[in-house]
Amino acid sequence: MTSALFTLAQPVVPILGQDNVYPVRRVFCVGRNYAGHAREMGSDPNREPPFYFSKSADSLVPGGGTIPYAPGTSNLHHEIELVVALGKTVFQATPEQAAGAVYGHAVGLDMTRRDLQNAAKDIGRPWDLGKSFEFSAPITALVPSATPMGAGAISLEVNGQTRQKGDLNEMIWSVPEVIAHLSQFYHLGLGDLIYTGTPEGVSAVKPGDTLVGRIDGLPELAVTIGPAA
Ligand code: MN
């Protein structure tokens, strides 16, 4: 008989208005899903197939709050995003089938070490150091909804000033299309979150900054950048 050498905390996201929590297995992220952000990153916003990277589930910061300024960067960026949680198994699905697999939505921040991401891009290396790190994925409570969100204002303020502003209807790939495409490559299901990309206006933060992310119909995400740690 074998037993675990030690136990690890299961990453979870709260569910709005419930005592239950949503356990997280994987965190997928879509790159460049808004034309304005694709342009500001120097890319062609034409409808090329979506691409993905992932964050470790223990990057999540449920409920936001204070996060340390990340180590190893001098250009820590915010990316405000709609997050979708899956509630059903879905594999090689059509967008119609994928739409039925949504459990709910949340507001998330895809915090990014932009200097490290850009350095990796330049020499064709993976993005992990730039994207998947401790405290890099603040997220609100999930709001259960059987219907994928497809419209509504999305914005991010830093110290009371609007930096990012857009509408979910500007997503190049809709929520059902993203799930359907990603499901060609993974057996998606319970415990899977998808960060669906960010509108234009990404910029650097510094210790002491207060970020407030909003998406119509979802809770506010408030994050303060603490000292480097
Ligand atoms: Mn992002």
Helix, strand and coil in the chain, % to nearest 5: 15, 40, 45
Instruction: Check if the beta carbon of residue 200 is closer than 8 Å to that of residue 36.
Output: yes
Give the Å distance between the CA of 52 and the centre of ligand 1.
9
Give the Å distance between the CA of 123 and the centre of ligand 1.
20
Give the Å distance between the CA of 89 and the centre of ligand 1.
24
Instruction: Check if the beta carbon of residue 32 is closer than 8 Å to that of residue 45.
Output: yes
Distances, alpha carbon 210 to alpha carbons 43, 92, 147, in Å:
29, 41, 31
Instruction: Check if the beta carbon of residue 34 is closer than 8 Å to that of residue 197.
Output: yes
CA 2 to chain centroid: 36
* Topology (CATH) of 12-228: Fumarylacetoacetate hydrolase; domain 2 (3.90.850)
Give the Å distance between the CA of 84 and the centre of ligand 1.
13
Distances, alpha carbon 212 to alpha carbons 22, 161, 164, 227, in Å:
23, 10, 11, 18
> Is the model's pLDDT at 214 over the cut of 80?
yes
Task: Give the model's pLDDT for residue 97.
Answer: 96
Per-residue pLDDT of 34-53, as tens digits, reads 988 878 888 877 778 899 99
Per-residue pLDDT of 41-88, as tens digits, reads 888 777 788 999 999 999 999 999 999 999 999 999 999 999 999 999
